[in-house]
Structure 1
Amino acid sequence: MRDRPITVVGTGTGAPLPPDAAAAVAGAGLVVGGRRHLAAAPVTADAEQVVLGALAPALDTIERYLDDERQPDGEEHPDGEPHEPRPDRPGPVVVLASGDPGFFGIVRVLAERFGAERLDVRAGVSSVAAAFARLGLPWDDAVVVSAHGRELRTAVNVCRARPKVAVLTGPGAGPAELGAALGSAARVLVVASALGSEEERVERVTPAEAAARDWGSSVNVVLCLDEARALGAVRTVAGPPAGPAGWALAEEDFAHRDSMITKFEVRALALARLGPRLGDLVWDIGAGSGSVAVECARFGAAVTAVEKTGDGAGRIRANAAAHGVDVRVVHGAAPTVLSGLDDPDAVFVGGGGRELPAVVTACARRARRTVVVAMAALDRVPAARAALTDAGFDCDGVLLQSSRLAPLPGDVTRLAATNPVFLLWGVRPPARPEGANQ
Structure 2
Amino acid sequence: MITVVGYDGSPLPAPASERLARARLVVGGARHLAAVRVPPGARTVVMGGVGAALDEIDKEVDKASGDVVVLASGDPGFFGIVRALRERGHEPHVLPALSSVAQAFARAGLPWDDALVVSAHGRDLRRAVNACRAHPKVAVLTAPGAGPAELGRALFPQHPRTFVVCEDLGGPSERVVRCRPAEATTRPWRDPNVVLVLDSGRSVGERGWIAGARPGPSSWALPEEAFEHRNSVVTKAEVRAFALARLGPRIGDMVWDIGAGSGSVAIECARFGAAAVAVERDPESCDRIRANVRAHGVRVAVSRGEAPAILDHLPDPDAVFVGGGGPEVVRACAARALRSVVVALASVERVRPTLDALTAEGLTAQAVQLQASRLSPLPGDVHRLAATNPVFVVWGDRDAAPPPAPRPEPARRPQTLAELPEADH
Amino acid at match of 2:359: T
CA–CA distance in structure 2, aligned partners of residues 230 and 287 of structure 1: 29
Per the TM alignment, residue 209 of structure 1 is displaced from its structure 2 partner at its CA by 0.9
What's the TM-score, normalizing by structure 2?
0.93
Per the TM alignment, residue 52 of structure 1 is displaced from its structure 2 partner at its CA by 1.1
Show the counterpart of 1:50.
45
1:381 is aligned to 2:351:
yes
Unaligned runs of 5+ in 1: 70-89
Secondary structure in 2 matching 1:31: strand
Secondary structure in 1 matching 2:194: strand
1:412 is aligned to 2:360:
no
Show the counterpart of 1:75.
none
* Paired residues for 1:19-58 under 5 Å: 19-58=14-53
Which of 180, 201, 205 is matched with 2:175 structurally?
A: 201
Show the counterpart of 1:174.
147
Amino acid at match of 1:253: A
Contact preservation (8 Å) 1:191, 1:219: no
1:6 is aligned to 2:2:
yes
Amino acid at match of 1:334: A
Aligned length: 403
CA–CA distance in structure 1, aligned partners of residues 372 and 59 of structure 2: 68
1:397 is aligned to 2:370:
no
CA–CA distance in structure 2, aligned partners of residues 219 and 313 of structure 1: 41
Contact preservation (8 Å) 2:108, 2:164: no
Per the TM alignment, residue 22 of structure 1 is displaced from its structure 2 partner at its CA by 1.1
Show the counterpart of 2:414.
none
**Cα deviation code 1:140-164 (max 9, x no counterpart):** 1111110001000000010011111
Amino acid at match of 1:100: D
Show the counterpart of 2:76.
101
CA–CA distance in structure 2, aligned partners of residues 429 and 321 of structure 1: 36
CA–CA distance in structure 1, aligned partners of residues 160 and 192 of structure 2: 22
Show the counterpart of 1:72.
none
What's the TM-score, normalizing by structure 1?
0.90
Amino acid at match of 2:388: T
Per the TM alignment, residue 386 of structure 1 is displaced from its structure 2 partner at its CA by 0.7
**Cα deviation code 1:7-26 (max 9, x no counterpart):** 00000x23221111011112
* Paired residues for 1:60-99 under 5 Å: 60-69=55-64, 90-99=65-74
Show the counterpart of 2:126.
153
Which of 314, 329, 338 is matched with 2:311 structurally?
A: 338
Moved more, 389-398 or 279-288: 389-398
Per the TM alignment, residue 340 of structure 1 is displaced from its structure 2 partner at its CA by 1.2
Show the counterpart of 1:236.
209
Per the TM alignment, residue 433 of structure 1 is displaced from its structure 2 partner at its CA by 8.1
Percent of residue pairs identical: 62
Per the TM alignment, residue 115 of structure 1 is displaced from its structure 2 partner at its CA by 2.4
Per the TM alignment, residue 68 of structure 1 is displaced from its structure 2 partner at its CA by 2.2
CA–CA distance in structure 1, aligned partners of residues 342 and 368 of structure 2: 11
1:187 is aligned to 2:182:
no
Per the TM alignment, residue 220 of structure 1 is displaced from its structure 2 partner at its CA by 2.2
Provide closer, same or farther for how the CA distance between residues 433 and 139 of structure 1 changes in structure 2, counting only shifts above 3 A.
closer
Show the counterpart of 2:418.
none
1:429 is aligned to 2:399:
yes
